[in-house]
Every structure is written in C-alpha cells, then in structure tokens.
Amino acid sequence: MKKLIARLPKAELHLHIEGSFEPELMFEIAGRNRVEIPFKSVEEIRAAYKFSNLQEFLDIYYQGMAVLREEQDYFDLTRAYLDRCKADNVTHVEIFFDPQGHTGRGVPFDVVAKGIIAGLEDGERRHGITWRLIMSFLRHLSEDDGFATLKEAEPWLERFAGVGLDSSEQGHPPAKFARLFRQCRAMGMLLCCHAGEEGPPEYVRQALEIGVDRIDHGNRAMEEPSLIREIARRNLTLTVCPLSNTALKVIARMADSPVRRMLEAGLSVTVNSDDPAYFGGYMNANFEAVAAGLALSKDDVVQLAKNSFTGSFLPEAEKLRWCAAVETARVGQTPLVLLRTDRKRRTHDNACYRHRGGPDRDLFSQARTQ
Ligand code: ADE
Ligand code: ZN
C-alpha cells in the first residue's frame, strides 16, 4: 500500500502555507529577522505541538507565523513546501494563505503575496508542480476586516483562484461572511469554506446556502442525511485532513475518520495535510494513516487520488489527463505526463481567473442553480 500511495500522482487541495512552517526554518528565519521566539530548540518547539482542540493549535500557529516578515521568508516557506510535494509525488497544489495573519502585524500585503507567488512559480519551474492560490479570511475577525482585506488584495486578485474561510470555527458561522462571499463571487472568485470541522452541521448548511465551490473538512456533514444528499447532488468536494483531525481531537482515532463513510456515500472526498508541520505528516503520511486506520482497499486509495484532481480547480481536460495518469501509475508504469519532456508542456498560466469563466466555472454555477 505504501508503495502504491507513493507512486500515485496526487493533488493537494487543503493546505495552509503557514502550516507548513517547519521548526528548523522557523529558527533560521527568526534568527535572521532578530525575532524572539519562546523556544530554545527545534525539539522544544516540536514538544509544544500537543493540542486538545482547534483553538490551542491556532494560538501556536499564529505565534509561529509571526516570525515571517520579508518577501524572502515567504518565498523560502513556499519553496520548502513544494520540495515536500515533489518528494510525495504531489503534482498540483491549491493552497491557502492567511493575509490577515501578516497584515495585522504590519507586514504589507504585497510582501506576502509576492513571496508566496514567487515560491509557487519557482516550484513550477523546478518540479513542474502546477498551482492555485486561495486567499483565506480569518473568521474570528469581523466581516468588515474581511472587506478591507479584499480591498487591499485588489491588485492581486487575478493571481488568486478564489477565497476561503478559516480560523476559529465555533461561534463564527459562514453566514457571518455571507455579504463578503457574495461580493467575492461577483468578482469571479471561486469560494471555499472550512465548515463542519468543529462547528455543527448547521455551518455546512450555511456554506451550501452561500453556494461554495468546495467544503474544507466537512466531517460533521455526515451527521445529517439531508446534507449528504445535497453535497452529492451538487458534486461538491470535501477536503478531509486525517492527521489534522486526530491531532486536533476532531476524531478520537483514525478509525473514526469520515473518509470511508464519504466514499461509501458516493461523495467526492479528498485526503490533505492541512498544517503538516504541526500535525506530523505531509500528503503520503496522511494517505498511509487513513488507509491503515480504515483498512482502505487499493481501489479506495486510487479513487481518493483521482478525486484530488477531479475536485481541483484545474480545467476539465487537465483533470482527465491526471485521472488517466493515476490509472497508469496504479499498474506500476510511469505516466507520460510525469516524463520530463511532457512536463514542460504541462506548464500553464495560473493567472487571470477573473475574466476566464471557463468550463469549470460553468459547471459549478450550473450545480448551484439546479
Ligand atoms: N487555519 C489553519 N489550519 C486550520 C484548521 N485546521 N482549521 C481552521 N483554520 C485553520
Ligand atoms: Zn484547514
């Protein structure tokens, strides 16, 4: 199983770039920026990564990202993540960043966006990894703060595929951001929303009401048959994060992961690493953990790899190409798309979504209005 997982091409659809900040790099950047951190060693940092809920994690996550100041820091962070993707055969990424976690400390929006995008472009050049960037709003802040961030982001919007909603879920329902999301939709952005991680099924219902294109986590949707039916009807993808779920006590043990139940319900579920530096593993570790915890079959694992592409924001033709590549890799051959000459051709423009309105977007809007 481990070998199969390693050789399948995969897409990562739920990853907070700030959550890939490994302690070694944190120490290095804190040193060069002369920022004090309350830990004496990498080991001490890792020892602090014990969480009993989402908020305990978020407190440390915001503290960790506070050492990021310069464009080079954001570049190094992104570059390191993409090197890990290459090692795990992740060939396409759709990553979140939390601008308010930086601008709120006085780092200019441009510094953050420039550094991350340069890192993504560098990864595409070096490894052929294609990408989408998603600007995520912090839900513990006000909707007005979100509007101010959208305004700041204006010069960059063509480089972002969409927006997301993350941070402390309980007490901050999607409906709090309904106007902001409506505005983002009107500007042509795709919509993602963390819902049903710790928050109740009602929050997933509100995300559906807003008309999101993807639900991040979505675990607690499985408590409501009507939600399961609606998610299936709209063919919405749920980006589940197995090691995150156990680390944050969203589930007591891996055997309780909703991945199998989602597959059995015919839902488009994917496996993702969320904040791998904090939760103990990148993509392949998440696949291995959930496959072992749920005794998944090889067919299940192949389905999850295909879902990662079909649930992505890639154009339809790319999705089909990657699904064929998954099939080829399953039987132990190297997919043509991963051979060197072909990878060059695979590179495509990641910018200019707003006025693109391609077939993918049509599909999504059809699903919403059905
Ligand atoms: N921000 C980073 N990781 C998150 C998670 N798992 N849930 C909500 N917000 C987050
Ligand atoms: Zn997340």
Q: Which of 15, 53, 58 to mutate to test the pocket of ligand 1 (most atoms within 8 A of CB)?
A: 58
Q: Which of 255, 245, 188 is nearest to 216 (CA)?
A: 245
CB 245 less than 6 A from any atom of ligand 1: no
From residue 111, how far is each of 180, 336, 337 by CA, in Å?
24, 37, 34
Asked if residue 259 has pLDDT above 90, the reply is yes
The reply to whether ligand 1 has any atom less than 6 angstroms from the CB of 250 is no
Give DSSP secondary structure letters for 332-361: TPPPGGGSHHHHHHH-------TTT--HHH
Ligand 1 centroid from CA 151, angstroms: 23
Residues 215-240: tens digit of each pLDDT: 999 999 999 999 999 999 999 999 99
Residues 154-165 pLDDT 10s: 999 999 999 999
- For residue 197, which atom of ligand 1 is closest to its CA? 7
**Confidence (pLDDT) at 210:** 98
Ligand nearest to the CA of 167: 1
Ligand 1 atom closest to residue 19's alpha carbon, by position in its atom list? 2
Q: Report the pLDDT averaged over residues 120-137.
A: 98
Which ligand sits closest to the CA of 65?
A: 1
What's the pLDDT tens digit per position in 140-179? 999 999 999 999 999 999 999 999 999 999 999 999 999 9
51: closest CA among 204, 274, 215, 222?
274
N-terminal to C-terminal alpha carbon distance within the chain: 39
Of 22, 71, 197, 198, the catalytic one is: 197
Q: Each residue of 23-68: pLDDT tens digit?
A: 999 999 999 999 999 899 999 999 999 999 999 999 999 999 999 9
Pocket test for ligand 1, best of 274, 278, 279 (most atoms within 8 A of CB): 274
**Is 22 an annotated catalytic residue?**
no
All domains of the chain in start order, with CATH: 2-369 (3.20.20.140)
Whether 216 is in the pocket of ligand 1, judged by its Cβ within 6 Å, is: no
H or E element that contains 125: helix 109-127
Closest-lying ligand 1 atom to the alpha carbon of residue 98:
1
Q: 15 alpha carbon to ligand 2 midpoint, in Å? A: 6
Q: Which amino acid is at 105?
A: R
Residue nearest to atom 4 of ligand 1 (CA): 167
pLDDT digits (tens, 9 = 90+) for 323-361: 999 999 999 877 777 765 444 444 444 443 443 443 333
Number of residues that make up the chain = 370
**CA dihedral in degrees (290, 11, 120, 131; nearest 10)?**
-140
